[in-house]
Chain A
């Protein structure tokens, strides 16, 4: 009988994110001139899924009590790479997709090695690797351009049976077949334990190093999936510094909106996905209400500021003032 209460307490952040998203989407749809049509949902889904992948990548690192400021640049790098190699006949395209995903894994592995074996601070290490990833992206695509297998791109960004957005299905499949098995495996638990209390986990013989490394690997993989989808939407590769930074920033906002604790060990990638969908919907609300596009960066910044300030509410619960100072 008590089971469900524990489950509810554990999933509170995720459920909050689902609630925020549902409310925002309802406001959005009821004010949209076209109403709830398959096309409106498809456009919204495509934009949301892109950020959702990056948010999942960020969530994995945040769960281990780290932060990854290079996710946006991994996305840009894989986008530029995909615009070269995901082309042609089905077989080369499949190899290209595999190559892009492997590149993402390599980016994650580099970050993981630097943080776990190199014992560097995740913030500076990922700022530096982000610069490297961006540099490589710029080497690949000094100017925007390239192409992608358009059949695959259209299939993955279109609608299945004319109703369900294919990108949402892809996202669901990744959650179902990658995230949930990882979450339930010993490695996934180790990643959570490392974020929750590294010392206690270490003392209990939890394989924290392997768990954290797996989290970094999957983070790179998810970011590469985001890069693939970006290529599918735009049909081109572009090494844009500002857009890489924006994705990193929005991913952090999504993770916070999604109820993942920045101190680690609490939350889930599913929450981050709903956080990302909610964040995108909030951005789109501006269009529905006919605001000047110029105000959008400010609006998104304020949403981000409010989202991260939500964490300050935990201060109210602190009983001992010393808890403020770590």
Chain B
């Protein structure tokens, strides 16, 4: 985060700045690819890898928001129903005629931003611990959606635009979802490394008190981060709905743990203030490949949950420990 390498020393600067955690994550990706290719010869084919990248891009968008929040030293547990709300509201808007179809994507994202706004106000201004208030907003969002849908999966279909965003190909050979992830990621890297806002995010993760005393509007930064995280979760939901061409109850449940796992596996400190977006990219790909291999091996859900938990704990024990006292 500190010395930005510029100009000629890019390569050596890159080497110097490489985080061991990021290197481990990329090493694990290579190991998984080798292991997978031993298991099935299709594993290294371009179609398969591209398909994995497409699946990874949904998680990637969601994990981007999660990373911002974790960099602050907070956590966002409202991801499951922010994803579902984004998907359901976008589909609901799409069912309201042509104007609704046009506004479906922005409307879905805006609903996620509202959830993020509630989180942000509570964390930044009311000083409620983030993991508690995001659990609560998650429950409220779930309650709203259950009341709205009647507890069933809504019948509204995704709009053509949503389907195009998730499954279409603007550039030949590259799915649009991957392009969206690349755009979100590029914006994130720019914000984190080149703007004062990004500096403030890292600073708050290290010491919010110091940031506040330096005259930075710390609370406004926290608020904005939560709004962006909510919006990105909802964008992930919109893309997922476009991919499956409809929204479903609890479609977001499967994204909370992987999102946290990707960020943490990518070397971002769960205490905040430390981490690079490159690591999160590696984490997202790692988690997606792991999921894919487990499903190729026809591992049942139980085994997947256990392996997830064990992998996260192992990685945390490797480099997520708080410093010892005394």
Interface residue ranges, A against B (CB under 8 Å): 67, 69, 114, 118-121, 123-125, 127-132, 134-139, 142, 198-199, 202, 241-242, 249, 252-253, 256, 262, 294-302, 304-305, 307-309, 311-312, 315, 322, 324-326
Contacts and interface: CB of A to CB of B under 8 A. Distances in A.
A308 B133 contact: yes
Interface stretch (B16-24, B225-233, B299-307): B299-307
Contacts of B147: 294-295, 297-298
A212 to B, nearest CB: 13
A136 B302 contact: yes
Contacts of A134: 305
B100 to A, nearest CB: 24
Interface stretch (B4-12, B188-196, B312-320): B312-320
Given A67-B131, A249-B135, A309-B128, A142 B302 contact: yes
B281 to A, nearest CB: 20
B143 A301 contact: yes
- Which of under 10, 10 to 19, 20 to 34, or 35 or more describes the interface residues of B? 35 or more
A142 B300 contact: yes
B174 interface: no
Contacts of B250: 242
Interface of B: 75, 122, 126-129, 131-133, 135-137, 139-144, 146-147, 150-151, 208-209, 211-213, 218, 250, 253, 257, 260, 264, 270-271, 300-310, 312-313, 316-317, 320-326
A296 to B, nearest CB: 8
A67 B134 CA distance: 14
Contact of A128 (B139, B213, B302, B312): B312
7 contacts: A120-B321, A132-B305, A136-B302, A298-B144, A301-B136, A308-B128, A326-B209
Complex A-B, nearest 8 residue pairs according to Cβ-Cβ distance, in ascending order: A298-B143, A135-B305, A301-B139, A135-B306, A138-B302, A132-B309, A131-B309, A301-B140
Nearest to B146: A297
Contact of B139 (A114, A125, A198, A305): A305
Contacts of B131: 67, 69, 123
A99 to B, nearest CB: 20
A11 B94 CA distance: 54
A249 B300 CA distance: 26
A131 B126 contact: no
Contact of B309 (A67, A128, A294, A315): A128
Contact of B303 (A135, A199, A299): A135
A241 B253 contact: yes
A294 B137 CA distance: 18
B123 to A, nearest CB: 10
Contacts of A302: 140, 143
Contacts of A312: 122, 126-128
Q: Which of B127, B141, B300, B326 has the most CB of A within 10 A?
A: B127
A57 B89 CA distance: 37
B143 A299 contact: yes
A63 B309 CA distance: 25
